[in-house]
Structure 1
């Protein structure tokens, strides 16, 4: 496994876990467990950062002149990263709404 493949899997693993946590946080908020939802969001954001750092490492290498061959695996990793970021935004909105509903 080369460097790009390894980093791609690191991104996929971290942001996939984070995305799952964001979805679970929405479910918790729906049940009125707002504090638990917020804790899970925070944990998910910490894990997401790991994937973001791995992605930033690739960007930094390219900025230093080390070009990488773009693969389908890397494209999938970037897609998962963007999906997780979008779920974070959506989950925050849902948690805010559920916190109002469950007052």
Structure 2
């Protein structure tokens, strides 16, 4: 193995800088539960208990994930007073992920064995 040169290190640093937006995007949406919740909200607004039932997440996990997604400005929370209910929906930023999800699903269908839409 040859020693690493300064030129090699700069190339690695440049490559890391170029990949940075992709890495940031994956870190923002990339946890299993975040993806599941975002996918569930693609079809429209849902109440907390609807999301809990459809995702199978525990209340604690779902609450944490929704807080994270709200902080990332991907999900919006709306609270109704009568009857008391909390609704979640995708923000414009969250909706912008829909074509990305479609492409990932198409890629998985083609390249990952055992994946069905």
TM-score normalised by L of structure 1: 0.30
**Higher strand content, 1 or 2:** 2
Which one has a bigger Cα radius of gyration? 2
Higher helix share: 1
Relative contact order higher in (CA < 8 Å, ≥ 6 apart): 1
